[in-house]
Structure 1
Amino acid sequence: MPTQEQARNLALRLHGLSGGTAILRKAAARELARYDPLDANELIDHLITLARSGWEPATHILSAFVAALGMEAAQIPYAEELRRLAQIQSLPTVADLFAEGPARQQLNAGAAAKADAQVFTQSLGHLKQQARLTRDPDVLSRLVTVSNPAVVRNALLNPRLTEPLVVRMAARRPARPEPLVEIWKSSRWSARHAVRRALVFNPYLPPEVGSKIVPLLNATDLAELASDTSVHPSLREQATRLLAQGPLGG
């Protein structure tokens, strides 16, 4: 079983890794794949504990590890076993990372597509290209309301997109889950605290994604989330457990 000291050494090593968010996430997936599933759960538990204590290297890499569990699961041979084993190991904060089920609120896919069609008459290909390339902030503001995830994915790459607009996208209600997941997958935007907060408090976000954001929140956000009855119950319970471990930041 990995010790907390080994987790510290790993955090220090990856903290110094050059490259962007995606590179760090893939490195985290490779590290998890090196361990057997029981040890991988222990490692994640140590990293959560270190991050909640406020140790900066752990807070930096924790986001990469929790994101890897979702975005790089194909690179982790036993990813689907981790939740069951974490429950057996009595590691609830690790088991919490694998929440399942539908979002607290849901927007019918047909209704969303109909709403898009009433506002946008261009082809999907045109909308995707426009979302990525437009220089007009008003056009971009309209395009980010599209429910099609491919359009949103391209809008997130637009260099003229601003954090306030992404926060509005992440907080939009009602919403389909797919555009919200695209925001979470965006290396450029998912590291922003305001974006994470908007996503996790959105009742239309699938809990499997929300559960990987909750450990990255600070104590103030966790306390608010724990008492927010509009979000998925599993996220409230997760926030309550993490609060007991102490703050991550202010």
Structure 2
Amino acid sequence: MDPLAARWRRAVSSLKELRLRAAFLRSELLRAEPSSVARALDELCRDAEQASPLARDVLGAAVPVLADPELAERVEELRRIAAEGSLLSLSRLLRRKARRQAAQPASPAIDERRLATSSAGRALTLGERRALARRPTRAAFEALLRDPHPLVIRNLLANPRMTEDDVIRLAARRPASPEVMTEIARHPEWSQRARVRMAIVQNPGAPQEIAVPMVRLLLRPELTQVVAAADVPGVVRAAARELLERRPPVPRGPGGAIEQ
């Protein structure tokens, strides 16, 4: 067993709060040598492909960190190490979109009529909307949920009045804003919710660099649903199909087996 992967397993199993798990993995990904991180992630990916619950928990804490744009250079370095070192499971986790595919669509243009407004009907400034999103009240939530700016969404996701249904509405919105989807994916708690993950993975506008790693965290029924979804990008469906094929059967007595 890789020593760094073993360390991460022990730490994650002892940390019950999702936010603490993500903070720990973030510090580890930045502290350790990239080659060591790559080997540890490859082992965990391989074990998660074989339905190891603990490996999946560790990856669940790592995926939001890998989705953080601030770590883009580190992720690219890990992708390079995986390719050069034939770390196949890690390569599948960090699979980039095919070059022949069209670029991700630009974020929708801002329609000020849909932004939160003052009592006088004036569209609020970005600073005002960010401040409003931090208030522990659901006032103006409907308008804030439509806000296209990622900094507003970041504050909204941290609002104690935010609900899982609210986050699912954000993640399922079409046309999707890649920046907003990234904010949801990098959140250490909301991104761990199964329904939120599925909303991201099934949104055709979700950046594939986010959707593909999230596929590694899905259970068999969810993977089957993704494979059957015609509007999910091909690279995401391919990742789900590949993982289904690698997922082992679960024994059910002497009469046969069922698969999870």
- Report the TM-score range of the alignment, normalised by the length of the smaller protein: 0.7 to 0.9
Q: Deviations over 1:114-143 (max 9, x none)?
A: x2x122212222211222215236x21221
- Distance verdict in 2 for CA 1:183–1:73, change over 3 Å: closer
The 8 Å contact of residues 177 and 204 in structure 1, kept in 2 or not, is answered as yes
TM score, norm. by length of structure 2 = 0.78
Residue 208 of structure 1: CA displacement?
1.0
* Residues 1:90 and 1:228: Cα distance change in structure 2 (over 3 Å): farther
Given the superposition, is the C-alpha separation of residues 79 and 181 from structure 1 closer, same or farther in structure 2, using an over 3 Å criterion?
A: closer
Q: 2:135 — aligned with what?
A: 133
Q: 1:194 — aligned with what? A: 195
Residue 192 of structure 1 and its aligned partner are, at CA, apart by 0.5
Letter in 2 for 1:34: A
Identity of aligned residues (%): 29
Matched position secondary structure for 2:14: coil
Match of residue 98, structure 1, among 84, 94, 101: 94
2:56 counterpart residue number: 59
Matching residue's letter, 2:109: A
Unaligned runs of 5+ in 1: none
Distance apart, 1:53 and its partner CA:
3.3
State the distance in 1 between where 2:61 and 2:246 align.
Answer: 20
Counting only pairs closer than 5 Å after superposition, residues 74-113 of structure 1 correspond to structure 2 as 74=71, 79-100=75-96, 108-109=106-107, 111-113=108-110
Gap change, CA 1:61 and 1:108, over 3 Å in 2: closer
TM-score, normalisation: structure 1: 0.81
Q: Partner residue of 1:13?
A: 10
Q: How many residues align?
A: 241
Higher relative contact order (CA 8 A, sep 6+): 1
Distance 2:136 2:27 in 1: 37
Q: Can you give the 5+ residue segments of structure 2 that lack an aligned partner in the other structure?
A: 116-122, 251-258
Larger radius of gyration: 2
What's the RMSD between the two structures over aligned residues?
3.1
Secondary structure of 2:225's aligned partner = helix
CA–CA distance in structure 2, aligned partners of residues 48 and 224 of structure 1: 21
In structure 2, distance between residues paired with 1:88 and 1:241: 21
Q: Structure 1 residues 223, 143: closer, same or farther in 2, change over 3 A? A: same
Cα offset, 1:19, TM superposition = 6.2
